[in-house]
């Protein structure tokens, strides 16, 4: 039996990528919308209600609207937007966090795909808070480097338009420290206060490095960087898409510099721990359009449909 799948927002960055992932799948019947009608509410509504599963690859407002257009009990939804990530009735689409997260995704009719920055942050912090190593009131800071495709069609156009130019150097943004991923970062990890989070976008297409510094003596259990690395290795041992890198990871650097594009075109997160007995730096590296968006959405779909979780995805 084929599963009928519709992507609302099929012409966008995330939607096109999902199509790429699913085009060769023999278990999927693709319901396509006439590009001319992609914002026609009646046509969207017809397709949303005809599908077994829909991906919402839309701005938040349009994603909320799409959900309101679904009037049957059957259609299952995977939303790539920020709209439902902390909604208690929605599953958070990061199955690697715990068996409970994976189970909730499997049985849910509504799944929200994590934000790209949030993905790297939560993978590095959730296990440490859960184990009581990082206290819930820890003063967490984070800096995250992303390629410009993270900003969707409009940012891609801006970076790639010769006329605009002038975007060569990295640009920190969300400097009011109120980035839209903060609610999920705080809610999913169980932190008492939101982190001080600074994203930086730079002039390359895709690839992320999310950096989370910790000070050992401020932890509940003052582990060294090497011990934190071993903790992660055990925590994620069974996970196909999370690769905990060796502690002594200098060999993976380029003359001391950290390359952020090494996981591009995969659904893999590489988790590094650098540092010493006092200072710890947790870094996650992944493709913002892979595990940071479309790859994660397809992984959730696989879980929901009872298919091989890794089907069509590169680890
Ligand atoms: N890019 C990334 O790395 C990530 C993106 N996301 C999230 O996924 C969602 C999609 O992002 P992305 O693909 O990058 O965005 P894009 O801007 O590239 O694509 C969004 C698409 O939605 C279409 N659209 C807008 N409004 C409507 C509407 N009312 N009805 C139907 N279609 C509509 C747009 O149409 P048009 O073609 O006319 O512009 C466009 O094709 C966003 O919420 C984003 O925040 C999440 C994680 C990472
Ligand atoms: C470079 C850039 O602008 N990136 C986007 C994040 C992309 C993403 O994860 O968006 P969602 O929150 O919708 O998932 C931003 O920081 O807003």
Task: Write the DSSP symbol of residue 149.
Answer: G
Contact 289, 295 (CB under 8 A): yes
The structural domains of the chain, with segments of one domain joined by +, span: 3-113+292-305, 116-288
Given a cut of 70, whether residue 163 has pLDDT beyond it is: no
Distance CA 17, CA 275 (A): 36
Quick check: CB of 149 below 6 Å from ligand 2? no
Angle at 7 between CA 85 and CA 297, to 5 degrees: 45
Q: What does the pLDDT read at residue 210?
A: 98
Share of the chain above pLDDT 70, in %: 98
Given a cut of 90, whether residue 99 has pLDDT beyond it is: yes
Mutate to test the pocket of ligand 1, among 13, 63, 81 (most ligand atoms within 8 A of CB): 13
pLDDT tens digit sequence for 260-282: 999 999 999 999 999 999 999 99
Which residue's CA is the closest to the ligand 2 atom numbered 12? 115
If pLDDT is split at 50, 70 and 90, which confidence band does 1 have?
confident
Q: What does the pLDDT read at residue 31?
A: 97
Quick check: CB of 201 below 6 Å from ligand 2? yes
Distance CA 110, CA 92 (A): 9
Given a cut of 70, whether residue 290 has pLDDT beyond it is: yes
Distance CA 213, CA 122 (A): 13
Fold of 116-288: Dihydrodipicolinate Reductase; domain 2 (3.30.360)
Given a cut of 90, whether residue 298 has pLDDT beyond it is: yes
Given a cut of 80, whether residue 286 has pLDDT beyond it is: yes
Rounded to the nearest angstrom, the distance between the alpha carbon of 288 and the centre of ligand 1 is 14
ipTM: 0.95
Given a cut of 70, whether residue 28 has pLDDT beyond it is: yes
Quick check: CB of 210 below 6 Å from ligand 2? no
| 210 or 249, higher pLDDT | 210
CB atoms inside a 10 Å sphere around CB 116: 28
Which ligand lies nearest to the CA atom of residue 152 in the structure?
1
CATH class of 3-113+292-305: alpha beta
The β-bridge partners of 145 are: 200, 209
Task: Supply the pTM of this predicted model.
Answer: 0.97
Given a cut of 90, whether residue 16 has pLDDT beyond it is: yes
Q: What does the pLDDT read at residue 249?
A: 78
Q: Which residues are catalytic?
A: 116
If pLDDT is split at 50, 70 and 90, which confidence band does 307 have?
very high
Given a cut of 90, whether residue 226 has pLDDT beyond it is: yes
Given a cut of 70, whether residue 162 has pLDDT beyond it is: no
70-79, 240-249, 286-295: least confident range = 240-249
Helix (H, G, I), strand (E, B) or coil at 271: strand
Rounded to the nearest angstrom, the distance between the alpha carbon of 14 and the centre of ligand 2 is 11
If pLDDT is split at 50, 70 and 90, which confidence band does 250 have?
confident
Quick check: CB of 115 below 6 Å from ligand 2? yes
Q: What does the pLDDT read at residue 252?
A: 86
Mean residue pLDDT of the chain comes to 97
If pLDDT is split at 50, 70 and 90, which confidence band does 107 have?
very high
Quick check: CB of 116 below 6 Å from ligand 2? yes
Q: What does the pLDDT read at residue 248?
A: 79
Distance CA 127, CA 275 (A): 19
Q: What does the pLDDT read at residue 114?
A: 98
Q: What does the pLDDT read at residue 198?
A: 98
Q: What is the mean pLDDT of residues 167-193?
A: 97
């Amino acid at each position: 039996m084929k599963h009928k799948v519709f992507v609302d927002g099929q012409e966008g960055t995330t939607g096109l990528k999902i199509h790429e992932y699913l085009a060769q799948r023999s278990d999927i019947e693709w319901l396509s919308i006439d590009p001319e009608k992609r914002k026609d509410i009646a046509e969207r509504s017809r397709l949303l209600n005809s599908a077994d599963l829909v991906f919402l690859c839309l701005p938040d407002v349009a994603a909320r609207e799409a959900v309101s257009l679904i009037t049957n009990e059957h259609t299952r939804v995977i939303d790539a937007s920020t709209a439902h990530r902390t909604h208690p009735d929605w599953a958070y689409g990061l199955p690697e966090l715990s068996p409970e997260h994976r189970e909730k995704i499997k049985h849910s009719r509504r799944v929200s795909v994590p934000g790209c920055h949030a993905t790297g942050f939560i993978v590095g912090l959730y296990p440490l808070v859960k184990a009581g190593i990082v206290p819930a009131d820890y003063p967490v800071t984070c800096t995250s480097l992303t390629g410009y495709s993270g900003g969707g069609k409009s940012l891609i156009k801006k970076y790639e338009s010769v006329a605009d130019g002038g975007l060569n150097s990295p640009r920190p943004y969300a400097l009011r420290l109120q980035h839209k991923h903060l609610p999920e970062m705080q809610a999913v990890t169980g932190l008492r206060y939101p982190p001080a989070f600074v994203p930086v976008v730079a002039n390359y297409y895709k690839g992320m490095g999310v950096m989370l510094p910790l000070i050992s003596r401020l932890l509940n259990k003052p582990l060294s960087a090497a011990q934190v690395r071993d903790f992660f290795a055990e925590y994620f041992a069974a996970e196909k898409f999370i690769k905990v890198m060796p502690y002594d990871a200098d060999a993976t650097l380029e003359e001391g510099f950290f390359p952020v594009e090494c996981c591009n075109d995969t659904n893999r997160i590489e988790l590094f721990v650098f540092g010493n007995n006092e200072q710890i730096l947790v870094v996650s590296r992944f493709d913002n359009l892979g595990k940071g968006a479309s790859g994660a959405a397809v992984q959730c779909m696989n879980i929901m449909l009872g298919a091989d979780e890794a089907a069509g995805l590169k680890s």
